[in-house]
């Protein structure tokens, strides 16, 4: 039966109208090329009208002018089923379609997608040849709109999953849908973990609130609370040293909880009004503060207090030197001062109270030689000395452990641990500094005061000599053999002479003291009395044998002076060896 009359339509050159009238891809391609081939319309102008890339138009026109209408159709006949050297038409069409759908695809990615889709290996070289020899489909519609153009959130995420199942990479999916790779990976993780139900929208609120307080943190606070004087800030600082990050307020709430359950209560604090400090430093090593504190509560059984001599840097609040000693004499103070100056240089001003050891003539001479200005706090106003604040911290951090020390080495170990913890834990004065820079040691850093040569320090502090202790633990000093400590045999010790007191010291720790009488020249020793052995951390592990205890033992003994060196006589002429040689020389 003959076809009915065709519907008449007005002629048009509008491309959008022509697209609706064509019935095959070949006809559509021809209508794209016709104005260029027949009327010489520029390819760039035609590309703007149709949306086809200009480069594709140029290649298609060149092929049309070469082969004519045949270029509009598939030039390759379908390969025989037994020929594996040629790609099937479906794979070749898929290669062109993928490139047309997403121009950013490279040969590697297209080959991977084709292998995944058709279950057949395809070389990227073959893909490159197909793309170079065949025209791409014109105006191929998108499989999916862009991510944000899809209103349904499930459809958006389902498009990501579909492309992934088709062999697309996350980078290609993100580029094709105009979204981020992070969103692509997150969607795929949800799909793998939960399947299609995981693609629905969900609340962004955390399912489990962050809990920084765990059983480990509470157990650590309970152990620290064995010292009831530790407050919330000091517990916070100690936990930070252990790698547990809790705020002071959180630590305070846990401390209160433990006290309600029976933990010991701290002593009642005396309220006071803060006053401006007269020696507030504006820079490092502008002011140093020094003082002596008595430690009466201990288990040493001596009936006497121990003395803590501390030197504090006011700007950083760092402890520069701190020694615990059974005596509070000038020598103990100078040993601590020399250790601080040798390590950190000299300050501009040294602040103390009116104690005698701080105003001694020898100390005043050292201040003047090092260029240190000496200042004193007002009488009865201990709060003006920054080191008093440090002593308050020491009472809370160390007194509980001082009270349990039964030997001098234990007391020294507690003090050394406090010295390290105080310098490396955060300090309340530095709370406005960046995290990790709130400890006194971090604030002090590498900055030094006025430097002094160690030899000059030895001269200023009257450090007479440093000697190596012999196997018996003694040293020779000015024609006297003085016992130091057998446990340090082979180590180098220092001898201090201050007035009529001679002290043997090892690493800023006094070992033994002698009372001495000097000759009129003020240098040689005339008499040395029996020593006073000071408690220290270096006792010999080998006690004296019983027979030696019954033998009179003298720690100090006068030695004969060194014999003067004998002068060598001038060499006489050598006698002749043989008589003939002698006669020949005289004849």
Task: Read off the pLDDT of residues 279-317 as tens digits, 9 standing for 90 and up.
Answer: 889 999 999 999 999 988 888 888 888 899 999 999 999
> With 70 as the cut, is the pLDDT of residue 572 above it?
no
Please, what sign has the CA dihedral across residues 253, 258, 261, 263? negative
**Rounded mean pLDDT of 57-66?**
85
Domain boundary pick from 444, 470, 487: 444
**Rounded mean pLDDT of 473-478?**
86
Note down the domain range covering 476.
Answer: 462-539+551-558
> With 90 as the cut, is the pLDDT of residue 373 above it?
yes
**Rounded mean pLDDT of 35-45?**
86
Using one digit for the tens of pLDDT, what is the confidence trace for 377-432? 988 888 888 888 888 888 888 888 888 888 888 888 899 989 998 999 888 888 88
367 located within any domain? yes
* Confidence tier at 199 by pLDDT (50, 70, 90): confident
Using one digit for the tens of pLDDT, what is the confidence trace for 235-266? 888 888 888 888 888 999 988 988 888 888 88
**324 pairs with which residues across the strands?**
308
pLDDT of residue 350: 93
523 located within any domain? yes
CA–chain centroid gap for 120, Å, is 53
Specify whether 486 is located in the same domain as 393: no
Specify whether 440 is located in the same domain as 468: no
Specify whether 318 is located in the same domain as 431: yes
**Rounded mean pLDDT of 18-28?**
79
Specify whether 293 is located in the same domain as 364: yes
Mean pLDDT of the chain, nearest integer: 83
pLDDT of residue 566: 65
Using one digit for the tens of pLDDT, what is the confidence trace for 351-367? 999 888 898 888 898 99
Number of independent structural domains in the chain:
4
Looking at the chain, the whole-number percentage of residues with pLDDT higher than 90 is: 15
d(C-alpha 76, C-alpha 63), whole Å: 14
Characterize the bridge pairing of strands 287-295 and 349-352.
Answer: parallel
Specify whether 468 is located in the same domain as 434: no
d(C-alpha 290, C-alpha 52), whole Å: 86
Specify whether 439 is located in the same domain as 369: yes
124 located within any domain? no
Specify whether 247 is located in the same domain as 361: no
Q: How far is CA 420 from CA 244, 249, 413, 424, 583, in A?
A: 18, 25, 11, 6, 87
pLDDT of residue 581: 52
pLDDT of residue 1: 47
> With 90 as the cut, is the pLDDT of residue 182 above it?
yes
Specify whether 254 is located in the same domain as 325: no
pLDDT of residue 83: 46
> With 80 as the cut, is the pLDDT of residue 577 above it?
no
d(C-alpha 46, C-alpha 36), whole Å: 8
484 located within any domain? yes
Looking at the chain, the whole-number percentage of residues with pLDDT higher than 70 is: 88
């Amino acid at each position: 039966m003959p076809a009915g009359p065709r519907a008449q339509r007005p002629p048009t050159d509008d491309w959008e109208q022509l697209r609706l009238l064509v019935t095959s891809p070949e006809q559509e391609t021809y209508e794209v090329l016709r104005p260029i081939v027949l009327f010489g319309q520029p390819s760039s102008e035609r590309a703007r009208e149709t949306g086809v890339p200009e480069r594709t138009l140029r290649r298609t026109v060149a092929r049309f002018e070469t082969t004519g209408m045949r270029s509009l159709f598939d030039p390759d006949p379908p390969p025989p089923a037994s020929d594996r050297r040629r790609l099937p038409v479906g794979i070749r069409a898929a290669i062109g379609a993928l490139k047309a759908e997403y121009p950013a695809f490279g040969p590697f990615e297209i080959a991977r997608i084709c292998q995944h889709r058709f279950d057949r290996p395809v070389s990227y070289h073959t893909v490159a040849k197909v793309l170079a020899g065949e025209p791409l489909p014109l105006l191929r519609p998108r499989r999916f709109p862009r991510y944000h153009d899809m209103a349904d959130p499930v459809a958006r995420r389902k498009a990501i999953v579909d492309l992934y199942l088709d062999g697309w990479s996350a980078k290609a999916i993100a580029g094709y849908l105009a979204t981020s790779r992070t969103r692509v990976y997150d969607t795929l993780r949800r799909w793998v973990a939960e399947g299609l139900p995981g693609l629905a929208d969900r609340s962004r609120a955390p399912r489990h609130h962050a809990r920084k307080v765990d059983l480990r943190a509470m157990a650590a606070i309970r152990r620290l609370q064995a010292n009831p004087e530790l407050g919330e800030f000091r517990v916070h600082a100690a936990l930070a040293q252990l790698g547990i990050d809790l705020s002071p307020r959180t630590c305070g709430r846990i401390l209160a909880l433990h006290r309600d359950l029976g933990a010991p209560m701290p002593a009642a604090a005396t309220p006071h009004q803060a006053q401006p400090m007269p020696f507030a430093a504006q820079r490092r090593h502008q002011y140093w503060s020094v003082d002596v504190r008595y430690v009466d509560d201990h288990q040493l059984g001596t009936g006497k207090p121990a003395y803590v001599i501390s030197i504090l840097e006011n700007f950083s609040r760092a402890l520069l030197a701190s020694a615990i000693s059974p005596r509070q004499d000038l020598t103990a103070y100078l040993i601590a001062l020399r250790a601080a100056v040798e390590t950190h240089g000299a300050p501009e001003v040294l602040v103390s109270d009116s104690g005698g050891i701080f105003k001694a003539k020898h100390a005043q001479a050292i201040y003047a030689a090092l260029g240190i200005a000496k200042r004193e706090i007002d009488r009865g106003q201990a709060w003006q000395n920054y080191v008093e604040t440090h002593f308050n911290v020491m009472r809370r951090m160390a007194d509980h452990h001082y009270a349990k020390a039964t030997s001098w080495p234990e007391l020294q170990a507690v003090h050394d641990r406090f010295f390290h913890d105080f310098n490396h834990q955060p300090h309340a004065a530095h709370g406005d500094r960046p995290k990790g820079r709130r400890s006194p040691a971090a604030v002090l850093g590498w900055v030094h005061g006025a430097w002094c040569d160690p030899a000059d320090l030895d001269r200023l502090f009257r450090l007479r000599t440093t000697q190596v202790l012999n196997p018996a633990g003694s040293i020779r000093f000015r024609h006297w053999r003085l016992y130091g400590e057998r446990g340090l045999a082979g180590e180098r010790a220092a001898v201090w002479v201050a007035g009529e007191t001679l002290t043997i010291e090892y690493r800023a720790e006094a070992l033994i003291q002698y009372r001495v009488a000097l000759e009129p020249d003020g240098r040689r020793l005339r008499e040395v009395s029996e020593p006073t052995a000071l408690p220290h951390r270096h006792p010999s592990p080998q006690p004296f044998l019983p027979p030696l205890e019954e033998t009179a033992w003298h720690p100090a003994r006068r030695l004969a002076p060194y014999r003067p060196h004998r002068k060598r006589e001038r060499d006489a002429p050598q006698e002749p060896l043989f008589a003939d040689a002698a006669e020949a020389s005289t004849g």
